Every structure is written in structure tokens, then in C-alpha cells.
């Protein structure tokens, strides 16, 4: 992990390389509007270390993160361990830690949802991944989203490989989000997800609590119904892009 100090150098796109199974040249700047925080830097380091191990497992030992460059704002206090950024800039970032985008923070009391700015189709690389300091530092983050390193790898799938979510994304893709679909083969309504092996509960949230949804697999379910997997089940596998990164057995890229 290399920590550099941002400067006003000319913008040059970051060059991420994958050589001998190792990703290098990944640039992760902290936005100048973020308050100076050693805790934030430590949280980023932990996330990247966890992500590297998770990616190594998910890709069957084909990839890990060897070099991630953290850029700190030039308004932060200089420290002996900081180095010159050379050509690395905020504008050429692969991942950023920046103030929240209201679209991805519908509930202010909860950590904002990480997201990847993406304009290409399937397989096309994205613009960057956006985390917030709230997400990095809030104690509730892993309760709602699972391990930060696992979330990092999920977003890396969007960013580097142009993968799409394998679930109904009611924040980033609200126009196309469908929590259930009708299976023509089985003639039943099924949750939108990659694996059928989950033990899950079909619930709707209202009046401050969850309740079981009205309807069933034969006639469909009421609006607002979502399928929530039991996070304690040990013998189920699914793609990381399914979004269930809090389940230990979800550890493959498919």
C-alpha cells in the first residue's frame, strides 16, 4: 500500500495492469472535502487487504491487489511516509472516497451505498468506484453490507470487467428493478437472483418492521416484497455479483 500526496499535476488516466496475477497501479484518492483522518486511511487499508484475499479466492488464485495507491489531499498535514504523486491524480482515479451522492444515500442515517459510475455495456470498463467516508467508518456498515473488502470486489466486478448486478437494484436501476419474475419453465414466481439454493424469506417492510408478504409463488407477491436470504446457512454458493456478500459461502465470480 502506497500513500501519496495529491498535487495540481496535469491529469493522466490511471494505468491499471494485471501482470503475473497481480493488479498494480490502482489509484484511490480521497476527495479534498473529506476531513483529515488517520482512521479513514487505516479503514481503506483494511478494506483493500481484505479485498485482495477475497479476490484471490474468487478468481481461483488468478488475481490479487499488489499495489493500490492512496492519494491524500494536499490540504492535509504532510507526513514523512507520504510520497510524491507523480502522474497520479484525482481525475484519473479508479476508486474514490468522496462525499455522498444523494441518489445512493436514500436514508441519511445509514451508510451510503457504494456505486460504480458506468456508461458502457456488459464487459466495458467503468469510470470509477465511489465509496464515502461514512461507509468506510460507520460501525453499521458491515451489518448492512457485509465485509467492506467483499463489497470492494463486488464493485471491482462492475468497474474492471463491466459485470452487472444479479439482483433487482432499486437504487441504481430503479426503472428495471424487479424483485420477482415468472418462470415459464416452472410456472411459478421466483426471486430475481443467481442461485436457487438459498433459504430465504419473502418480506415487506412497513410501519417500522418486516412482515411476510401477501401472495405466493403461484399468484405472485405484493408490491414492495423482497426475498431476503438467511445469512447463517452454510452450504450454499452464489456469485459475488448476486449482492449477498454478507453470506460466507458467497465467494465466486460467475
Residue 18's beta-bridge partner residues?
23
Rounded to whole angstroms, the Cα distance separating 118 from 126 reads: 5
- How far apart, in Å, are the Cα atoms of 72 and each of 33, 149, 254? 11, 20, 35
What per-residue confidence (pLDDT) applies to 10?
A: 32
Per domain, the residue ranges of the chain are 2-161, 180-242
- How far apart, in Å, are the Cα atoms of 23 and each of 84, 98, 107, 188, 251? 21, 23, 34, 43, 19
Rounded to whole angstroms, the Cα distance separating 173 from 123 reads: 18
What per-residue confidence (pLDDT) applies to 217?
A: 93
DSSP3 helix / strand / coil % (the chain, rounded to 5): 20, 25, 55
Over residues 13-57, the pLDDT tens digits come to 557 999 999 999 999 999 999 999 999 999 999 999 999 999 998
What per-residue confidence (pLDDT) applies to 114?
A: 86
Q: Which three cell numbers stand for residue 245?
A: 456478500
Over residues 114-132, the pLDDT tens digits come to 888 877 777 788 889 999 9
Residue stretches of the chain with pLDDT short of 50:
7-12, 249, 254
Other CB atoms within a 10 A radius of the CB of residue 117 amount to 13
The sign of the torsion formed by the CA atoms of 218, 220, 225, 229 equals: positive
Q: Which three cell numbers stand for residue 5?
A: 500526496
What per-residue confidence (pLDDT) applies to 21?
A: 96
pTM, two decimal places: 0.74
Stretch (H or E) spanning 18:
strand 17-19
Q: Which positions are annotated as active-site residues?
A: 155
Amino acid at each position: 500500500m502506497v500513500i501519496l500526496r495529491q498535487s495540481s499535476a496535469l491529469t493522466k488516466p490511471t494505468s491499471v495492469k494485471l501482470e503475473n496475477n497481480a493488479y498494480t497501479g490502482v489509484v484511490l484518492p480521497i476527495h479534498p472535502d473529506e476531513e483529515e483522518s488517520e482512521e479513514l486511511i487505516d479503514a481503506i487499508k483494511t478494506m483493500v487487504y481484505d479485498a485482495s484475499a477475497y479476490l484471490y479466492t474468487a478468481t481461483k488464485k488468478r488475481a490479487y491487489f499488489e499495489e493500490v495507491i492512496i492519494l491524500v489531499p494536499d490540504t492535509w498535514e504532510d507526513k514523512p511516509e507520504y510520497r510524491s504523486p507523480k502522474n497520479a491524480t484525482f481525475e484519473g482515479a479508479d476508486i474514490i472516497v468522496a462525499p455522498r451522492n444523494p441518489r445512493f444515500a436514500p436514508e441519511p442515517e445509514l451508510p451510503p451505498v457504494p456505486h460504480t459510475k458506468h456508461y458502457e455495456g456488459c464487459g466495458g470498463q467503468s469510470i470509477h468506484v465511489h465509496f464515502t467516508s461514512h461507509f468506510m467508518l460507520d460501525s453499521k456498515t458491515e451489518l448492512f453490507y457485509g465485509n467492506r473488502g467483499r463489497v470492494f470486489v463486488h464493485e471491482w466486478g462492475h468497474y474492471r470487467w463491466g459485470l452487472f448486478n444479479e439482483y433487482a437494484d432499486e437504487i441504481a436501476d430503479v426503472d428495471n428493478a424487479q424483485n420477482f419474475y415468472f418462470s415459464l419453465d416452472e410456472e411459478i414466481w421466483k426471486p430475481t437472483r443467481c442461485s436457487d439454493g438459498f433459504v430465504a424469506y419473502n418480506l415487506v417492510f412497513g410501519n417500522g418492521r418486516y412482515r411476510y408478504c401477501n401472495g405466493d409463488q403461484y399468484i405472485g407477491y405484493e408490491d414492495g416484497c423482497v426475498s431476503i436470504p438467511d445469512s447463517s446457512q452454510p452450504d450454499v454458493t452464489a456469485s459475488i455479483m448476486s449482492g449477498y456478500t454478507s453470506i460466507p459461502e458467497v465467494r465466486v465470480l460467475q
